[in-house]
Structures are given as C-alpha cells and as structure tokens.
Amino acid sequence: MNLLLLFIAFVFPVQLLADHLPDDQIAEGKAEHKLCGVNVYETTIGQVLKTNGRASTVEVITDKQDDQYPPGSGDRTYIWNWLSLKMRIGTVYYTDKKTKKVIVSKAYAVDVWGKKPRSEIGITGQGLALGDRLSKIEALYGKKYDKQKITKDEHTFVLIQWKDGTQLSIDFDKNEKISHMQLIAEVE
C-alpha cells in the first residue's frame, strides 16, 4: 500500500499523516466508517458516481507523471462542487501484471466542506454534521481525541482515531462550527 501513502501525502492534508494518537486518546466505541454516504472500506467509486452524478473535476496522477509510482498505477481524486458544498473522494489504482486489468481501490478517503449538510452530503454515519459544535462530537464519539489550535488562521482542529486505524479530522470555523470533515480508512 505504499502507493496509497504517496497519494495521501500528495493530495490530502499533512495533518492526517501524523503518527497514531497515544493510547489514551484513541476513541472507544464504534468506529466511524461513513461520511457523505460513503463507507471508506466498502464503497466503490462507481457507487459514488451513481449516487452523486458526474464529478465536477477528476484529477489523475499516473506513473508517467511521478516516477515513484509503480508502472500502470496512480491515483484519482473526484471532486464535486455544489453551491454551498464541496466533496472530494480519493481512490488509487494499479494495473495487474498478469491480466493487464486496471484495479481500482474502494473510495478510501472522503472530504467535505461547507456550512451545513444537504441530504447525506456533510453528515457522518453516526450523525455528525457540518455546522455542528464540539459538544456534538463528544456526544457521539466521546472525549478521546486530539484537539489543536492551528495558529495560521486560529481555527480549531480535532482528530479522532479509532482502534481500527480509521481517522476523522474536523476543522472548525471562527464561530467554532464544523466547516470541514475528512474521513480516511486505515492505511497500512
């Protein structure tokens, strides 16, 4: 899964690449696996496209653009822009050496930005939504998480990690309401 790590480092925020949280900050209870209706362990990009329609933008990085990727591999990022919401889905792919068939990963990373959700867009499987406050995080997931003030623009950032390695990162706006969430599957 080194290709997956490269993709994450290139496309997704550095804050996700932090080492695992200390044991006393690992969330207990059921791990969150869904954001915007996408299960980061099970949902295919085909299912996402069927539900949300054609992406506004698809960004592709291939082995021809970056020699660190194995031949026949790369990553695809799908981006949807709506009036007040933006969603980004990450996948990786490789070409099977024997069959020459392109194998695409599940949609293992989901980002969403906005002030409030629309339907499933902007809501986790357990009900955390864009526009919610820290108290809702604690009500749903407990008080085991990492919370930081990002000095660049003075916003609050929360990282929740579960025993299975799944991570949910949350950014708050200046009014301390959730303005961005990212859910990412465990990366080996």
Domain boundaries, the chain: 2-14+24-184
Give the number of other Cβ atoms within 10 Å of residue 6's Cβ. 18
- Residue by residue, pLDDT tens for the chain (188 residues) are 444 444 444 444 434 444 578 888 999 989 999 999 999 999 999 999 999 999 999 998 887 766 666 788 888 999 999 999 999 999 998 888 889 898 889 999 999 999 999 999 999 999 999 999 999 999 999 999 999 887 677 789 999 999 999 999 999 999 999 999 999 999 76
Six token digits for residue 96:
């099977």
Helix (H) or strand (E) holding 107: none
Whole-model pTM? Answer: 0.85
Q: Which residues contact 160 (CB under 8 A, 6 or more apart)?
A: 27, 32, 137, 141, 144, 145, 146, 167, 168, 169, 170
